[in-house]
Structure 1
């Protein structure tokens, strides 16, 4: 499946969440990640994310699609981490 993950966290937890998400998805902008991921890997990522975030202070939003082909992406300005450079 293809996902877009966005989080908003207190400063003391941002670094840990960034490192976690970079192990599973492509970092495209501050606190925003995207990429293909299996159901098992997504469940693993979310379980580890729940250990980091404080649900009464932080948020994590996940957009899911079966494949990337059903999403249209438009970037205005410089793209921080373009995915078309991946070999």
Structure 2
């Protein structure tokens, strides 16, 4: 399945959450990741990220069962981890 993950965590935990998500998904914007992932890997990833979360933090996971139904438009510069390094 294709997922979009958005998080908002305290400044002290941002790097830990980002590193965990980067292991399975593609970074697209600050606090936004997306990509193909199996349901079991997603469940494990969410579990691992929730271990870092505290009161006031949030994690949004948008699951898309059929990625052909997504029409993604990017205005401005499209950023992802692959284009950060030459």
- TM, length-normalised to structure 2: 0.90
Match of 2:46 in 1: 46
Q: Which runs of 5+ in 1 are unaligned?
A: none
Q: 1:26 matched to which residue of 2?
A: 26
Deviation at 1:67, TM superposition (A): 2.7
What CA deviation, in whole Å up to 9, does each residue of 1:56-76 have, x standing for no partner? 210000111113211110000
The CA RMSD over aligned residues, in Å, is 1.4
Q: Which runs of 4+ in 1 moved over 4 A?
A: none
Matched, 1:10 2:10: yes
> For residues 82 and 13 of structure 1, what CA distance do their matches in structure 2 show?
20
Tell me how many residue pairs correspond in the alignment: 82
Q: What secondary structure, in the 3-state scheme, does the structure 2 residue paired with 1:45 have? A: helix
- Specify the alignment match of 1:66 in structure 2: 65
Mapped contact 2:26–2:81 kept (Cα < 8 A): no
SS at 2:74 equivalent: coil
Structure 2 unaligned spans of 5+: none
